[in-house]
């Protein structure tokens, strides 16, 4: 029996939407970290750890440096690529308490405290005001103490590794010794910073009416109530018979089939194969319009990757949701129930295949909302 390994966080240490030329487009790999990106070429995503800080840069060379604690919240520096981009400093408190994340939140570096501005209401984040970001980064790089909170209560965050993480981003983006550097600036003008590389182009196939499949796009919500049955040709597959045996403990799960019309000639079927806590794993098949000729659907990563025992979902997807308006499929293996850590990937159907259009990840459960997670892969 395939067991959904909830403690093995799929893709958390590995580490997105589309328009342009039809069909999948493979991104050109750029240089490794520390080498300036050539204009026009996407670069290779990379993640690093620096003691208590983490850093990541995606294929468009947008970079992130961040730290946090399980109970006290988090702080992130976000820097897009290119000479005109300005850094942002975002802060969030604990998701389990009303510790100021909905009110006035402060950031204290050593003995100097500053009031933060409210960020997006959807993310419960706060931000350092634009005119204070550069000074905050300078102090952060040498700070011995860092805390976020309110006048009544503050939570300490780590400082060890902050300077190294920010310096790595300066190196990666070609900002060293320029006026646009995060921490190691110089006299070179910002115009010498390399431009942001071009992202891969992907175009979705034209969406089609879902008809009686409309309620089966999100099996976690209405899939079991949609009343759809799998085609006999899929039910007859040995691996699907095994899925049915493995999910016999939950008749509700067995009914929660994901189904979607990708085109007049192609249907997508998601078969529930296992579940545990807040994750449900699905195997996917493509068929003709009448449910015939089933074949396994492929969801490629941004690089060739061998799955290992313990990967959440194995060859399938976890907590999948289909968006008919964009002909895209998303999966989200949750590392814990509130959804503040894990990996989110999205693929679009081009008419011939599924192509990865976006990947974000957060390997630490600090309460950071998924809309702010570092990106690993993006497309246009």
CATH number at residue 61: 2.60.40.1880
Residue 300: DSSP 8-state = -
Closest by Cα among 98, 89, 35 to 65: 89
| 181, 315: one domain | no
| 245, 297: one domain | yes
| 362, 249: one domain | yes
Query: Is the pLDDT reported for residue 302 higher than 60?
Result: yes
The most confident of the ranges 25-39, 91-105, 208-222, 288-302 is: 288-302
Asked whether residue 34 is domain-assigned, the answer is no
The most confident of the ranges 27-41, 230-244, 311-325, 334-348 is: 230-244
Asked whether residue 31 is domain-assigned, the answer is no
Asked whether residue 358 is domain-assigned, the answer is yes
**Rounded-to-integer distance, Cα 310 and Cα 10, Å:** 8
* pLDDT for the residue 20: 29
Into how many domains does the chain fold? 2
Query: Is the pLDDT reported for residue 318 higher than 90?
Result: yes
* pLDDT for the residue 103: 60
Asked whether residue 350 is domain-assigned, the answer is yes
User: Across the chain, what does the average pLDDT equal?
Assistant: 84
* pLDDT for the residue 306: 57
Query: Is the pLDDT reported for residue 57 higher than 60?
Result: yes
* pLDDT for the residue 4: 33
pTM of the entire predicted model: 0.84
* pLDDT for the residue 34: 32
Residue 339's φ and ψ, nearest 5 degrees, are 70, 30
The domain boundary residue, chosen from 160, 192, 224: 192
**Region 107-129: what's the mean pLDDT?**
87
**Rounded-to-integer distance, Cα 362 and Cα 334, Å:** 10
Q: How confident is the model at residue 366 (pLDDT cuts 50, 70, 90)?
A: very high
Beta carbons within 8 Å of 98's beta carbon, 6+ residues apart: none
Report the DSSP beta bridge partners of residue 108.
113, 147
| 169, 227: one domain | no
The domain boundary residue, chosen from 142, 159, 192: 192
* pLDDT for the residue 11: 36
Give the residue numbers spanning the domain of 293: 211-378
Asked whether residue 235 is domain-assigned, the answer is yes
**Rounded-to-integer distance, Cα 323 and Cα 87, Å:** 32
**Rounded-to-integer distance, Cα 346 and Cα 321, Å:** 9
* pLDDT for the residue 41: 64
| 245, 333: one domain | yes
């Amino acid at each position: 029996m395939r067991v959904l390994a909830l403690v093995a966080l799929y893709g958390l240490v590995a580490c997105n939407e589309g328009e342009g030329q039809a069909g999948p487009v493979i991104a050109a790999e750029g240089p490794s970290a520390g080498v300036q990106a050539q204009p026009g070429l996407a670069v290779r995503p990379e993640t690093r750890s620096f003691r208590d800080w983490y850093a990541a840069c995606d294929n468009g060379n947008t970079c992130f440096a961040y730290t946090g604690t399980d109970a006290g919240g988090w702080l992130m520096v976000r820097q897009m690529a290119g000479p005109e981009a300005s850094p942002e400093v975002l802060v969030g408190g604990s998701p389990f308490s009303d510790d100021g994340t909905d009110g006035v939140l402060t950031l204290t570096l050593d003995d100097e405290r500053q009031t933060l501005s409210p960020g997006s209401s959807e993310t419960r984040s706060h931000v350092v005001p634009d005119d204070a970001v550069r000074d905050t980064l300078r102090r952060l790089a040498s700070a011995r103490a860092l805390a976020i909170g309110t006048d009544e209560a503050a939570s300490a965050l780590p400082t060890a590794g902050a300077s190294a993480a920010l310096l790595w981003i300066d190196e990666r983006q070609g900002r060293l010794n320029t006026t646009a550097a995060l921490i190691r600036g110089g006299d070179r003008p910002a115009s010498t910073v390399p431009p942001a590389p071009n992202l891969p182009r992907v175009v979705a196939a034209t969406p089609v009416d879902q008809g009686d499949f409309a309620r089966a796009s999100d099996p976690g919500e209405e899939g079991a109530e949609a009343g759809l049955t799998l085609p006999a040709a899929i039910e007859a597959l040995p691996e699907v018979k095994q899925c049915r045996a493995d999910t016999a403990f939950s008749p509700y799960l067995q009914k929660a089939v994901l189904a979607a019309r990708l085109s007049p000639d192609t249907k997508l079927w998601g078969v529930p194969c296992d579940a545990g806590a807040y994750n449900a794993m699905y195997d996917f098949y493509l068929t003709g319009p009448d449910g015939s000729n089933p074949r396994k659907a492929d969801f490629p990563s941004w690089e060739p990757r061998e799955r290992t025992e313990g990967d959440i979902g194995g060859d399938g997807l976890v907590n999948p949701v289909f968006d008919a308006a964009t002909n895209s499929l998303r999966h989200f293996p949750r590392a814990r129930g509130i959804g503040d850590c894990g990996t989110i990937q999205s693929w679009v159907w081009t008419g011939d295949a599924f192509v990865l259009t976006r990947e974000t990840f957060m390997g630490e459960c600090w309460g950071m909302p998924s809309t702010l997670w570092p990106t690993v892969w993006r497309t246009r």
